[in-house]
Amino acid sequence: MEYILETRNLTKVYGRHKAVDSVSLHVRRGDIYGLIGRNGAGKTSVMKMITGLSKPSEGDFSVFGQRGTGSEMYMQRIGALIENTGIYPNMTAYENMKMKSIAMGVRDKKEAANLLKLVGLSDTGRKKVKNFSMGMKQRLGIAMALIGSPDIVILDEPINGLDPQGIAEVRETIERLNRERDMTFIISSHILEELSKISTSYGIINDGVLIREMTREELLAECSERIELKTDDTARACAVLDSMGIENYKVTDASTVNIFERLDGSGDITMALAQAGVKTLGITVRNEGLEDYYLSLTGGAKNV
Amino acid sequence: MFNLIKMDLYRLAHSKVTWVILIFVIGIGIFATKMTDYDIETMKQEMETGTYVDDMISGEVEPGSIAVVPDEEWASGKVEAGSMVSSQVESRILLIFITVFTVLFVNAKQKNGYIKNIAGLFPKREKLVIAEALVVAFQVLLMMITFILTILICGKVFWGEGFYMGDFSAFVKFSAVQYLLHLGFAMIMFFLCQLTRSSALSITAGMIIATGMTTIIYALINRGISGVDSLKDFDITKYVIENNITATGVASADGDMVRAFVTAAVFTVLFTGLAAFFMRKRDIR
């Protein structure tokens, strides 16, 4: 499958600190890719590398299937909002938009005004950006990232500073652009619940390492209620489950089988395994929220 | 790159610092001309006891001198425009305004984070530097023209028919060389901004150079290299921007003009190149 953006062992070292360690992520066209990680996990560093703001220490990335110098001509197809919004405080919202439009050679004179309307800033007039609220500045940053109708939009913590209505509006805007203009989004956040409402794919990053990549369906499956069976022989255990008529199960590693049906049948399953001579090392019913799942992956709970 | 130049020109037109500095340049042009007018008036009143700079240099100082003017002719009320402009430009006053403008204009892009919006779009980042350098060069030209025009207009107002243009081609040659010298200085500031990302450091360095406090450093360098036989007569002050600004007048010899021109060109190209190098190599913060 060709990915619209793909990184290959992307690494970034600052002095002796490895901020990003061999990250290989895969973003398909039309995805809303949620990059999840706590503060300092390496999300922004990854985004800076794929937007050309910093050079990787090792590894590379491809955009539209092109790597290295071949990808350079596609960099203008990427719009980005990285960290705080980069705007001139003594200019108006329109003037800030106009400058980037000029730099990108955007000929449509109405684009800046249309984008400001899209993010709800059309009424700011001659108000200088220094007098904007944090939420208004954030929305202006998102509008700036959309100049030139990019194919890929990278948003670093876009809902920072927004009130619930603002968050809902940003979410709705992203979904609409994704649906109507087939824009691909890469969004980083540490607010998992918000990401879960919008993302179609996820990358979980911790201490600079990409721990898991999964689709929304896979994540829901991971988080849904199930029986977690620990055994020393998963192959024979699966045969026993098949003989019991249990079809909805998944082997997740060498000693674990997750069973998604007959959630009240732990006793029956244990007895059937025993009769077949399969040792049961442990059997529990689990139900994880997204946050719990994330914490279990990253070991974050022990730090609480 | 043309789009980048247009963008920076748009920013130039919409930045407060651009217009504030131009207003100050006009103000200082009026002030400097008026001060010279006062000096001339004083000189006229004290004609008998006045002293001319050339006489002071030659040692023929008359006792009781109370006024000094750069040009003997001025005391008679005739002021040649070229020598008037030359004396003001050589004072290096413009360097202070160039320092403030360049540092504030260039650092704004980094300080406000705007650079993040565009740096990634242009993998060949030196284009960003060259485009911005061209716009700074344009503003320095504007400042120079404004300063010169202000002096010329004020001269005509204050001295009427006594204010006249001498050798126009020499004046144009002088103005062009001085513009290049001032541009070379602006590029030093430009480079310092890229290197340090600090307005305080860059402005301080600019003030030190503009006010001639680097004399001590040059003296030390000259002393250090005077021990080498082949460099015994070498004087580094002849090849630095600020000293060439002071030493290059409208009546300077062709050799001095050429040396000033080459010095300006070398500094302009060198420091723009260095700025581009650092922009290309560094991560955008």
Sign of the dihedral defined by the CA atoms of residues B121, B127, B130, B131, in that order:
negative
Nearest C-alpha in B relative to A104: B3
- At residue B25, does pLDDT exceed 80? yes
Best of B117, B122, B285 to substitute, by most chain A Cβ atoms within 10 angstroms, is: B117
Q: Which residues of B touch A83 (CB under 8 A)?
A: 113, 116
Q: What is the mean pLDDT of residues B254-261?
A: 93
Give the C-alpha separation, B264 to B52, whole Å: 31
| pLDDT value of residue B45 | 76
pTM strictly above 0.95 = no
Nearest C-alpha in A relative to B113: A86
Q: Are A103 and B7 a contacting pair at CB < 8 A? A: yes
Give the C-alpha separation, A187 to A146, whole Å: 14
Interface confidence: ipTM more than 0.90: no
Best of B106, B112, B130 to substitute, by most chain A Cβ atoms within 10 angstroms, is: B112
| pLDDT value of residue B30 | 96
Q: What is the mean pLDDT of residues B174-184?
A: 97
Percent of chain B with pLDDT strictly greater than 90: 66
| pLDDT value of residue B72 | 66
| pLDDT value of residue A107 | 86
Residues B226-264 as b/e (b if ≥16 CB within 10 A, e otherwise) read eeeeeeeeeebbebbbbbbbeebbbebeeebbebbbebb
- pLDDT band, very low/low/confident/very high, at B47 (cuts 50, 70, 90): low
Kindly state the tokens that stand for A171: 């979410």
Query: Residue A105, by phi and psi: left (phi above 0), alpha (psi -120 to 50) or beta?
Result: left
| pLDDT value of residue B66 | 41
Least confident span in B15-19, B60-64, B72-76, B195-199 = B60-64
Give the C-alpha separation, A234 to B169, whole Å: 95
The values of phi and psi at residue A187, to 5°, are -120, 130
A276 touches A236 (CB < 8 A): yes
| pLDDT value of residue B53 | 53
Q: Kindly give, in sequence order, each residue whose CB lies less than 8 Å from that of residue B249, ignoring residues fewer than 6 positions away.
A: B83, B86, B87, B90, B174
**Structural domain boundaries in chain B:** 2-281
| Higher per-residue pLDDT: B55 or A271 | A271
Q: Which residues of B touch A84 (CB under 8 A)?
A: 113
Digit-coded pLDDT (tens) for B221-253:
888 888 777 777 788 888 999 999 999 998 898
Q: CA distances (Å), A153 to each of A5, A6, A79, B173, in order?
A: 11, 14, 5, 52
Give the C-alpha separation, A170 to A172, whole Å: 5
- At residue B5, does pLDDT exceed 70? yes
- At residue B58, does pLDDT exceed 60? no
A105 touches chain B (CB under 8 A): yes
- At residue B257, does pLDDT exceed 50? yes
Q: What is the pLDDT along chain A (304 residues), one digit of tens a residue?
A: 689 999 999 999 999 999 999 999 999 999 999 999 888 889 999 999 999 999 999 999 999 988 877 778 888 899 999 988 899 999 999 999 999 999 999 988 899 999 999 888 999 989 999 999 888 898 899 999 999 999 999 999 988 878 888 888 888 889 999 998 899 999 998 777 788 888 999 999 999 999 989 998 888 777 777 889 999 999 999 999 999 999 988 898 899 998 888 888 889 999 999 999 999 999 998 766 677 777 777 765 444 3
- At residue B22, does pLDDT exceed 80? yes
Best of A49, A53, A129, A147 to substitute, by most chain B Cβ atoms within 10 angstroms, is: A53
- At residue B57, does pLDDT exceed 90? no
A53 touches chain B (CB under 8 A): yes
A290 touches A273 (CB < 8 A): no
| pLDDT value of residue A141 | 92
Smallest Cβ–Cβ distance between A102 and the set B6, B112, B284 belongs to: B6
Digit-coded pLDDT (tens) for B184-233:
999 999 999 999 999 999 999 999 999 999 989 998 888 888 877 777 77
